[in-house]
Amino acid sequence: MNATMHDVARVAGVSIKTVSNVINDYPHVRSATRDRVLTAIKELGYQPNLSARGLRSGKTGVIGLAIPSVREAYFAELADSIIRAAEKRGLGVVVDQTNQVRQHELDVVAGRRLRLTDGIVFSPVTIDESDAALLNVPFPLVILGESIFGGPTDHVTMHNVSSAKAAVEHLLSLGRRRIAVIGADDDEEANAFGSATLRVRGYHQALQAAGIPADPALVRPAGLWHHDTGAAATRSLIASGIPFDGLFALNDSLAIGALRALGEAGVRVPGDVAVIGFDNIDGTKYSIPSLSSVDPGREEIAEIAVEMLVERIGEKGERMPPRRIKPDFRIVGRESTGFPYVADVTDTDGIDESAAVPATA
Amino acid sequence: MNATMHDVARVAGVSIKTVSNVINDYPHVRSATRDRVLTAIKELGYQPNLSARGLRSGKTGVIGLAIPSVREAYFAELADSIIRAAEKRGLGVVVDQTNQVRQHELDVVAGRRLRLTDGIVFSPVTIDESDAALLNVPFPLVILGESIFGGPTDHVTMHNVSSAKAAVEHLLSLGRRRIAVIGADDDEEANAFGSATLRVRGYHQALQAAGIPADPALVRPAGLWHHDTGAAATRSLIASGIPFDGLFALNDSLAIGALRALGEAGVRVPGDVAVIGFDNIDGTKYSIPSLSSVDPGREEIAEIAVEMLVERIGEKGERMPPRRIKPDFRIVGRESTGFPYVADVTDTDGIDESAAVPATA
DNA sequence: GTGAAAGCGCTAACAT
DNA sequence: ATGTTAGCGCTTTCAC
């Protein structure tokens, strides 16, 4: 079986306490003693038992990430960023997929999932303002993606309204006047603080500011935000015969589906219809045409979320007031709104050479 | 603080053992007693401490998944499938990204990562036959994605050679004779049992069977298998002036990048060049044109991998001989090889209505 | 600077 | 059918 601290202590000829001191970098250990312990550790292939450490210390070194699905490009990229941010701090990440199911999301905030974790980063879909009370949880929790007004927890959210407004203004700046939206909520019951509602609000604000009357027929629901629903919503829009010269997809998956549907119908992009999405996922650079998008600052969101969670987990975490942070966003212009294509070098370092459009924040 | 079993026992007026019996569904408990305990549990909001249970039982209820990156579409979908399969069995999944770094992969098999887990599902890139000895690990391990000959662990692999052969035969059946490959290994030092080597072997087998001489100039390396590298390799291929009428991309991300490069160059797909990828990721249905691909049976791979791991973790897992399983594959024909586009309904149930081409296995 | 010993919350052998 | 108790491997207080 695996070696324990006792084994190490015996081999090194010291007590278990000394072994513990060495492992935890306790300063007051004579270096000769330390060396003997380290040698014994290597010799035995000793590795601390994390369950025991967790039991004793109350910490596991693992955080939870609850998202709708890793399969969706935006969340895959978010998970990647969260995992990297956690790893920098020596933390593991266990991923829980809620599939946008409310009961599942309720289980997350009730602590009925992700139980071997020190805290949770949670990107909810069905939890909204009316659930603020539920968020008063006895474990460290950071909410992502939308702001629950008055909620008791830390939030890292995005400028949903103003960035959507900027996206639409980008289309307006190209002279487009009949701008459609796909991905709106299906019904009035929808989460009033959900991304869809907020982004549609930004859309309306942009139109209003430009003095363009809103046409409800241009605002289309799409169910889940996938390629297929985006394509279906766009086909329905085209079939309706309502003219439009701009299209704002509430996320990039929808937009890529829309490009497909527009292409099938012989609608030229951006000639006939200029298209912009939201999230700036990797795939935006390789669609045909490449897709303009809103970059919500995913990397920064992940970094801040993990940092906040780590602070909460720490000593004084209990006593901090809830914080709310919104990273900056930017509009990224690509071919679908008339910008030239930029082939990027393998951007392992995350450098994005696409055109950045000055954005009103 | 959180309630413990002792608290529950006190409130229910029983001993801690009885509480444990109730929680673990031990059969010999009077139902009246059970009810009292359950009431106390609910009243106190008791939740078992998993660190303690893990320390005692030696199990954590969490498995590890080590993959190159969740951000790559294929691995995002694989992670989704693994997480679902694990959840069915009440297991959590902690995700570790190796980024294809050898040291990181060595750390995985050395058990230096993912330590709070009962076992690991590992999709290696740099580990190959010469490392077989390293796989003699003291914890349950299931290897994905390629077969290490003579390795001591369970493998769930794919028919890399024969499915690649089938993909190329698909192109040949369309009358294509000059078929290029992108994504081959850069050098001779490459992992001889890696997916690239095996798939290129299948390519050569198909050509040979058809009596077509191989042209080394048509086999192009691409570095990492991404959109951008696929586009770059294809641009280089086009610029070389070597004629080709078929393109086999060793995975779908490369293929999508290739479609982009072909489109830029005015090469029609499938008119001038028929294209097929590998993995059958979600994005294949929404590229323009939609992308034919090899479906390696990802769902089944995930399901089997988790099932195998669970068996290894269990009682008699130690004594089982290593197993090797290859799920069936199939060729999925889409527009990029001349099949009609099939708009699928929101396939939440995973039903794929694309044309399935009979494949030689 | 190092050792001895208590105890984190749970499971399971043993006792009743 | 239920209670008592040892101990999983670690951290940490308190002696020395």
Q: Could you report the per-residue pLDDT of B2-56, keeping only the tens digit for each?
A: 889 988 998 999 989 899 889 988 878 888 888 889 999 999 988 999 999 999 9
Q: DSSP 3-state assignment of B141?
A: strand
Closest listed residue to residue B229, CA positions, set A76, A345, A80, A73: A345
Q: Are B180 and B244 in contact (CB under 8 A)?
A: yes
Cis before residue B270, ω within 30 degrees of 0? yes
Residues B187 and B272 grouped into a single domain: yes
* Same domain as B315, residue B228: no
Question: With contact defined as beta carbons under 8 Å apart, do B285 and B334 qualify?
Answer: yes
Does residue A56 fall inside a structural domain? no
Nearest nucleotide to B51 (CA to C1') is C9
- pLDDT at position B349 is 35
pLDDT of residue B358: 46
**Quick one: B164 and B124 in the same domain?**
no
pLDDT at A354: 44
Decide: pTM greater than 0.95. no
Q: Within this chain, do residues A171 and A270 fall inside the same structural domain, yes or no?
A: yes
Residues B126 and B245 in one domain: no
Amino acid B84: pLDDT: 98
How remote is the C-alpha of A219 from its chain's centroid?
25
Tally Cβ neighbours within 10 Å of residue B210. Answer: 13
Q: Are A276 and A333 in contact (CB under 8 A)?
A: no
Give a yes or no: residue B335 inside a domain: yes
Residue of B nearest to A290 (CA): B260
Q: Does residue A293 approach strand C to less than 7 Å at its CB?
A: no
User: Do A317 and A332 have their domain in common?
Assistant: no
Q: What is the pLDDT of residues B65-122, one digit of tens each?
A: 999 999 999 999 999 999 999 999 999 999 999 999 999 999 999 999 998 999 999 9
pLDDT band at B190 (very low <50, low <70, confident <90, very high): low
In a domain, B53, yes or no: no
Residues B33 and B164 in one domain: no
Peptide bond preceding A48: is omega within 30 degrees of 0, i.e. cis?
A: no
Within-domain flag for B171? yes
The answer to whether B183 touches B225, Cβ cutoff 8 Å, is yes
Percent of chain B topping pLDDT 90 = 67
Q: Can you give the distance from the CA of residue B10 to the C1' of nucleotide D2 in angstroms?
A: 14
- The CATH number of the domain holding residue B303 is 3.40.50.2300
Strand C positions with any atom < 7 Å from protein CB? 1-5, 7-13
What is the mean pLDDT of the segment spanning B184-197? 76
So what's the pLDDT on residue A315? Answer: 75
Evaluate whether residue B257 is within a structural domain.
Answer: yes
Q: What is the pLDDT of residues A138-193, one digit of tens each?
A: 899 999 977 666 778 899 988 899 999 999 999 999 999 999 999 998 776 566 66
Q: Assess whether A151 and A166 both reside in one domain.
A: no
> What single string gives the DSSP state of each residue in A221-270?
E-SS-SHHHHHHHHHHHHHTT---SEEEESSHHHHHHHHHHHHHTT--TT
Q: Structural domain of residue A249, as residue ranges?
A: 160-297+328-345
B120 in any annotated domain: yes
Q: HSE of B123 in the Cβ direction (CA atoms, 13 Å)? A: 24
What residues of B are in contact with residue A229 (Cβ under 8 Å)? 346
Test the A interface: residue of B41, B60, B95, B97 with most A CBs within 10 Å:
B95
Rounded to 5°, angle at Cα B172 from B169 and B177: 135
Q: Are residues B179 and B231 in the same domain?
A: yes
Return the closest nucleotide (C1') to the Cα of A16: C3
**Which chain A residues have a beta carbon less than 8 Å from that of B259?**
288
Q: Determine the pLDDT at residue A343.
A: 63
A52: chain B residues, CB-CB within 8 Å: 51, 55
Question: With bands split at pLDDT 50, 70 and 90, how would you rate the model's confidence at B171?
Answer: very high
Q: What is the pLDDT of residue B306?
A: 97
In a domain, B107, yes or no: yes
Same domain, residue pair B305 and B228: no
- How sure is the predictor about B189, in pLDDT bands with cuts at 50, 70 and 90? low
The average pLDDT across B290-300 equals: 95
DSSP secondary structure string for all residues of A15-83: -HHHHHHHHTT-S---HHHHHHHHHHHHHHT----HHHHHHHHS--SEEEEEES-TTSHHHHHHHHHHH
Domain co-membership, B167 together with B283? yes
Query: What integer pLDDT is reported at residue A320 of this predicted model?
Result: 84
Mean of the pLDDT values across residues B172-177? 96
| pLDDT 10s digits, B228-281 | 999 999 999 999 999 999 999 999 999 999 999 999 999 999 999 999 999 999
A114 and A209 housed in the same domain: no
Residue B39's CATH number = 1.10.260.40
For residue A290, which residues of chain B lie inside 8 Å, CB to CB? 260
Cβ contact A31 with chain C strand, < 7 A: no
Based on the structure, what is the number of domains in chain A? 3
| pLDDT per 10-residue tile (average), chain A, 361 residues | 86 90 85 88 90 92 96 97 97 96 94 92 88 89 80 88 96 97 80 83 97 96 91 96 97 96 94 98 92 96 96 82 91 94 49 43 32
Asked if the structure places residue B95 within a domain, the reply is yes
Closest-approach residue (CA) in chain A for B229: A346
Give strand letter and number of the nucleotide nearest B12 (CA to C1').
D2
Percent of chain B topping pLDDT 70: 92
Q: What is the pLDDT of residue B350?
A: 35
Looking at CA atoms only, how far is residue A77 from chain B in angstroms? 5
How, if at all, do strands A324-325 and A274-276 pair? unpaired
User: What pLDDT, on the 0 to 100 scale, is given for residue B80?
Assistant: 98
Q: What's the gap in Å between the CA of A207 and the closest CA on chain B?
A: 30
Give CA–CA dist A114/A91, Å, rounded.
14
